[in-house]
Structure 1
C-alpha cells in the first residue's frame, strides 16, 4: 500500500471509530471508502491530491475536488498523528486555497464532523464560516470561504 493509501486508511478508520462504527481494518470499511484506499489515483482522478512531506515521507494529505459551478471542495484532510501540531494541516489547507485561486474558483467549501472541534477551529482561523448545509448527514457542519 503506498503512503497516500495508508493516510487515507488511517483517516477512514479513525472516522468510523469516532462515529461509533469501529472496524478492525480496511476490509470492514464501506465500499466507497475502501475504493479510495485501494486505488486513490482512480478515486481522485479528476481532483488534486496534496501531500505534506517530512523528508521523503508523506505525513499529511488533502483532496481538492475539481471545480463545479465556481466551487471546489476540500476533502480528506489528514495529518499523521505523530506529526500533528506542526502546522501541516494549515499548510495543506492554505495550499488548497492557493490552488483554487489559480483554478479560477470563487468559493471553497468543506464538510467536517461536528465533534472535530480542532479541525473546525483550524478552518475558522483560515477564514471559513459555517454555511447552510448541503449534507444529509446531521453530524456534519458545512463551511465555506471565498477565495
Structure 2
C-alpha cells in the first residue's frame, strides 16, 4: 500500500526480491542499540546486545515466526518497521516500531501502525496492545493520537507504559 510521500508498507518477506533483500535487520539493529543507550546500558554494536535482541536482528524469520513484520520503504530503502503478533485471547501486540530518523515526520510510523491495526483486525483480533518506554514521549503522543489509551501493565519491567485500543 502507498502512503504519504511515496512511502509503501509491505509484509516482509514479500514476494519481491527488493522486500526480501535487506529486510528489517538494519532497522531492528538501530532500534535495539538506541533502546539500550536510552536505558543507560549502551553497547558498541549488535554483537554486544542481549542474545534475544541480537536474534531478532540476525534471524528475524525465525524469531518472528508466527508474527508479521511490516516494512515501510521509500523506493528501494527500508525506512521503518513494526512487528504484529498473532492474536492471543483476542489481542495482538505491536512491537519494535521504528522509523529511520532521516524519514521521521513523513507519516511512516502512522502508516505502519495503521497497517498493523488493519492486519490485526483481519487476523481476528478485537484489540491491539503495546508497551512503550516512558521516556519516548513522541511515541506515546503518536499512539494517543491513533486511539491507544494507557491500560494496566502486563509487563513487570520498570519504566514501561502499556497501551491498548480496539480494532
Q: Is structure 2 residue 93 aligned with structure 1 residue 68?
A: no
> How many pairs were matched up?
147
1:12 counterpart residue number: 32
2:86–2:123 CA contact under 8 A, matched in 1: no
- Where structure 1 has 5 or more consecutive residues not aligned to the other structure, the ranges are none
* Selected match of 1:43 from 47, 59, 63: 63
The gaps in structure 2 that reach 5 residues or longer are 1-20
Which residue of 72, 89, 106 corresponds with 1:86?
106
Counterpart in the other structure of 2:132: 112
CA separation in 2, counterparts of 1:88 and 1:49?
Answer: 15
1:2, distance to aligned residue in structure 2 (A): 3.1
TM-score, length-normalised on structure 1? 0.98
Measured against aligned partners, the alpha-carbon deviations of 1:10-56 in whole angstroms (never above 9, x if no partner) come to: 00000000000000000110000001011101100110000001011
Alignment root-mean-square deviation, CA: 1.0
1:91-102 alignment runs, 5 A limit: 91-102=111-122
Give the TM-score of the pair, scaled to structure 2: 0.86
Match in the other structure for 2:78: 58
Measure the CA separation in 2 of the matches of 1:72 and 1:17. 28
User: After TM superposition, which residue ranges in structure 1, 4 or more long, deviate above 4 angstroms?
Assistant: none
Does 1:22 find its partner at 2:52?
no
| Partner-residue secondary structure (3-state), 1:11 | helix
